[in-house]
Amino acid sequence: MFEFITPLFCLLIVAGTFAGIVFGAIPGLTATMAVAVCLPLTYPLGLENGLALLLGLYVGGISGGLVPAILLGIPGTPSSITTTFDGFPMATAGEGEKALRIGIVSSLVGGLVSLAILFLFAPTLADFAIEFSYVEKFLIIFFALTVMAALSKDLLLGIFSGMLGIFISLIGQYDINNGGNGHIRLVPDGWDYYLDTGFSLLPVLIGLFGLTAILEQAEIGVPKGHSREDLKVGSESTFSFGIFRNQIGNLMRSSCIGTFVGILPGVGGSAASLLAYSNAKSFSRHPETFGKGEPAGIVASEAGNNGLTGGALVPLLSLGIPGDSTTAILIGAFTLQGIQVGPLFIGNNPDTWSAMIVAMLIANIAMFLLMYLAIRHLALVVTVPKHILFPVILMMCVVGAYTINYGIIFDVWTLLIFGLFGWLAVKLRLEVAPFIIGFILGPSAEIYFVKSLESFGDVSIFFTKSWIACVLWLLIIASLAGSLYFSRRAKSETAGE
Amino acid sequence: MGSLTQVTIDFDTSHLVFPIIIGTVLGLLGLAILIRDRASIAAAPGYWRHIWQEMDKVRFFGTIVLTLAYFGAMVPVGNIWPNTGMGFLICSVPYVFAVGVLYLHDRRPRNLWPIALLAVIAPPLSWWLFSYVFFLALP
């Protein structure tokens, strides 16, 4: 059953976790970028080994963000923003190493709790989803998009971004393999050769998460790296596991919040850690200490953002809907190996499913050991100069984009187009996560929508097909109403201040 | 009521159904955004002027120009030695060096050595790894 556990499998997880920590620890680089850039490496490795590398990168990338967040007060990844609130004050007070160790242990617990939930919950959800017809499948995608839009900074712009992603995904042929008529649409004259099958997913992702991040850094002048003297590791460790004696409730609650946020499609780690942090503050007997070097704040933030890792895989492996931008790229790894993720995935690929669970487990343990035992040395990755890293990342982006479809130069141009688009989208306040999820799910949404209408010939089928459809509509309305309520409340609170 | 909700989709034009719906929704959303954010849209020239003033133009546009040149040169150079990945290898060396120098803050000669070393090592290593170990096509 566990034949996939080979020395290479374990080595790839450890190497991936280490590389992920490096990516996560360098401000401006993210776990998503790490997975996108390393995707072509998985080509010859096979699915299980390829996933081992990518899941290691994912866990390492999310965890590595705590290093600069604590030592420099700069979040290495968006998901470690709240770690800076209490981590940096602790580091400033000479307790950097203690804060790092608190964050590392919390990350491990968050990762393991979410892994347990993934293991228990994903197969059940997948078994349930197997019964879904095209109508329910379409509504699930619609629900995913509304949840994402509802959790965006701006509801209207969030929906617009998601719809734009869907629209761009429709460029090219109406896929004949999925029952379409094979006709081309939305392609300008003379571009049929390049856009016959539309924009490829992976060059789009590599552009949006690789090139865009570097362009953003270039725009602000590629800030100088940090020197060893900037790192506030602290002179002596005063860490003991006794710190967690009063934090078990906080740890478990924050891990579960992170996992739950991960399950919601397209919602990133920053939402997970923010929600976990604000909850920890609400439940604390001393909320006034938060933001001033309170260890409970680091516990909540890191357990929350690592809780995301398993949670985000739940909708991916049970419904085929990515839980966040990094898991969206994992779809690419499955596509490369010719496997479709969805309700049938776990049942049809038990070995791959087991490999993913084992890989996540080993990645979390490797992350803990690497960071806990070598934290003083690992902290130095923050000082790696960007003028050395960025040119290599750009070169790897090209390799990734070009090799993904066995050598199509238009994919390299796609990378540039979407890298520039990503930069522009940020300036226009468009939301990249809903855009990506819309782009990934757009073709499936089209097939499910059109085939439902072709089969039933009645729009009301989307409301009357089954009780699941009714529940999904209620959830869609609730997510939109909730978003409107919270945005109005936030506005009135701002006006009140 | 039943007839109001009934639709017939012609298979020959079925490829246009969803794009038209999504296009219409996009248009309506765009209109709603235009109306809601009219004040900030009217102030957009100031916003872009601020971005322009704050931007490190050399590094930002330098990245774009170098990347355009890199992508544009890869295929013609690669066509001289087809199916060898030489286009990637030959173009990556100056590209990695140029981008490294572009991002460097202190460009004294002694600081250029690590970048030169990187430019000489990283592209050949990737070329060898992907072409000869992973058997993947490079431009």
Interface check for A457 against chain B (CB to CB < 8 A): the answer is yes
Would you place residue B121 in the very low, low, confident or very high pLDDT band (cuts 50, 70, 90)? very high
Residue B101 binned pLDDT confidence (cut-offs 50, 70, 90): very high
User: Which residues in chain A (109-168) have CB-CB distances under 8 A to chain B?
Assistant: 156-157, 159-160, 163-164, 166-167
Instruction: Give phi and psi for B122, each to the nearest 5.
Output: -65, -50
- Give the tokens for residue A66: 């705590």
What is the distance in angstroms between the CA of the first residue and the CA of the last residue of chain A? 60
Domain-wise residue ranges, chain A: 7-496
Q: Tell me what pLDDT residue A241 has.
A: 82
Return the percent helix, strand and coil in chain A, to nearest 5: 75, 0, 25
Residue B1, pLDDT > 60, answer: no
Do the Cβ atoms of A395 and B6 come within 8 Å? no
A15/B61 Cα distance (integer angstroms)? 35
Average pLDDT, chain B: 91
Contact indicator for A149, A158 with CB cutoff of 8 Å? yes
| Alpha-carbon distances, residue A114 vs A139, A367, A432 (angstroms) | 26, 15, 25
Q: Please indicate whether, in this complex, the C-beta atoms of B88 and A402 are within 8 angstroms of each other.
A: yes
d(CA A438, CA A170): 10
On the 0-12 / 13-18 / 19+ scale of CB atoms within 10 A, A203 is buried
Q: What is the per-residue pLDDT for B122?
A: 93
Residue A395's SS3 state is helix
Q: What is the ipTM of this complex?
A: 0.94
Contacts of B19 in chain A (CB under 8 A): 167, 170, 185-186
| Residues of chain B above pLDDT 90, percent | 72
Contacts of A163 in chain B (CB under 8 A): 22, 25-26, 29
Q: What is the pLDDT of residues A72-89, one digit of tens each?
A: 887 777 788 889 889 888
Instruction: Decide if B139 and A387 are in contact by the 8 Å CB cutoff.
Output: no
Residues of chain A with pLDDT under 70: 1, 225-226, 228-237, 266-269, 493-497
**Which helix (H) or strand (E) segment is A172 a member of?**
strand A172-173
Note whether A185 contacts B138, CB cutoff 8 Å: no
Nearest to B71 among A43, A186, A413 (CB): A413
Task: Mark yes or no for CB contact A391/B118 under 8 Å.
Answer: yes
**pLDDT computed for residue A237 by the predictor:** 58
Q: Cβ–Cβ of B70/A398 closer than 8 Å?
A: yes
Distance from chain centroid for Cα A67? 19
Distance (Å, whole) CA A142 – CA A136: 10
Buried b (16+ CB within 10 A) or exposed e, A301-332: bbbbbbbbbbbbbbbbbbbbbbbbbbbbbbbb
Nearest CA in chain B to A162: B26
pLDDT on residue A242? 82
Query: Could you tell me the pTM of the whole model?
Result: 0.83
Note whether A227 contacts B: Cβ–Cβ < 8 A: no
pLDDT per position as a tens digit, B7-46: 888 888 899 999 999 999 999 999 999 999 999 999 999 9
Separation of alpha carbons A273 and A254, rounded Å: 8
Residues of B in contact with A413 (CB under 8 A): 71
Cβ contact, residue pair B103, A170, below 8 Å: no
Rounded Cα distance between A271 and A257, Å, is 10
pLDDT, tens only, B55-77: 999 999 999 999 999 999 999 99
CA A28/CA A332 separation, integer angstroms: 23
